[in-house]
Amino acid sequence: MNVDIRDVSWLHVLHDVNLTVGSGEVTGLIGPNGSGKSSLLRCVYRRIRPDGGRVLIGGADVWRTPAREVARQIAVVTQDTPSDLDDSVEQVVALGRIPHLGTLGRLSAAERTLIAETMELCDITALARRPFATLSGGERQRVQLARALVQQPRLLILDEPTNHLDLRHQVDLLRLIRTLAVTVLVTLHDLQLAAAACDRLVVLDGGRIVADGPVAEVVTEDLLRAVYRVEAEVDRGHDGLPRVFLPLGRLTGPVSPG
């Protein structure tokens, strides 16, 4: 499913953002804190209504599409998941099927199999009976991913999906999303992970897109200096992907002014 963001503006946060994402593309949104990444994603998944411009998914304006229909097509993993849920992990994952359930609201045998297989894929089978509220941050993140996957969306939106994950689970998650036949919009702070996981990177700064292209063209020392205001070194690995190296030393230099 393609995504077409046209001249989107919202409050003082987003300014005339234009972005077209092709079906099946994995697109990474990167940029400093407060640059508008989450806000732009919220406009796409119909959480906030832009003051100007439109968002089309599969050619249809999201605000002219019924919420249930949007829920069938877009799955979202964000940071704002409630932590007081009494539900078990398995029940939280099953919530992903809600937009697809018929009037009886019962899961079919095929749906139960899908849930079990997806939990295995996300390495949470052993947690199935645990109350969601008792999980660690990384375990919750994997449960939320499983919930999103059982939704079988055509567009998967992930807002910093790796921030609580250990190294192995970071790599597993990004490897997994690359195998999915869905369009993915993902925000990531780790540029190396973003470069490995995404076909394309879009850089936001001050609510505007300041760079957009293949990862090797976007992640450069000049961009890191201009947008993130850090002196980093970027070289290429044997796979041609950019590798970012921050010469931190003993961190004795001055704190950069805001």
- List residues near ligand ATP by CB under 6 A: 11, 13, 31, 33-39
Q: What is the 3-state secondary structure (H, E, C) of 167-179?
A: HHHHHHHHHHHHH
Q: What is the DSSP letter of 228?
A: I
What beta strand segments (E) does the chain contain? Answer: 3-10, 14-21, 26-30, 52-57, 60-61, 74-77, 155-159, 183-187, 200-205, 208-213, 233-236, 242-245
HSE, CB side, 13 Å, CA atoms: give it for residue 195.
19
Element containing residue 239 per DSSP (H, E)? none
The Cα–Cα gap between 229 and 126 comes to 43
**Nearest CB to ligand ATP, comparing residues 48 and 107:** 48
Per the DSSP assignment, residues forming a β-bridge with 235 are 243
Q: Tokens for 20?
A: 């077209």
**Nearest CB to ligand ATP, comparing residues 48 and 121:** 48
CB of 10 to ligand ATP, least distance (A): 9
Q: Tokens for 64?
A: 């002219």
**Nearest CB to ligand ATP, comparing residues 80 and 86:** 80
CB of 189 to ligand ATP, least distance (A): 7
**Nearest CB to ligand ATP, comparing residues 31 and 153:** 31
**Nearest CB to ligand ATP, comparing residues 124 and 188:** 188
**Nearest CB to ligand ATP, comparing residues 131 and 138:** 138
CB of 39 to ligand ATP, least distance (A): 3
What beta strand segments (E) does 165-236 contain? Answer: 183-187, 200-205, 208-213, 233-236
CB of 50 to ligand ATP, least distance (A): 13
Q: Give the distance from CA 14 to its chain's centroid.
A: 18
Q: Give the distance from CA 29 to its chain's centroid.
A: 8
CB of 180 to ligand ATP, least distance (A): 23
**Nearest CB to ligand ATP, comparing residues 33 and 252:** 33
CB of 37 to ligand ATP, least distance (A): 4
CB of 54 to ligand ATP, least distance (A): 19
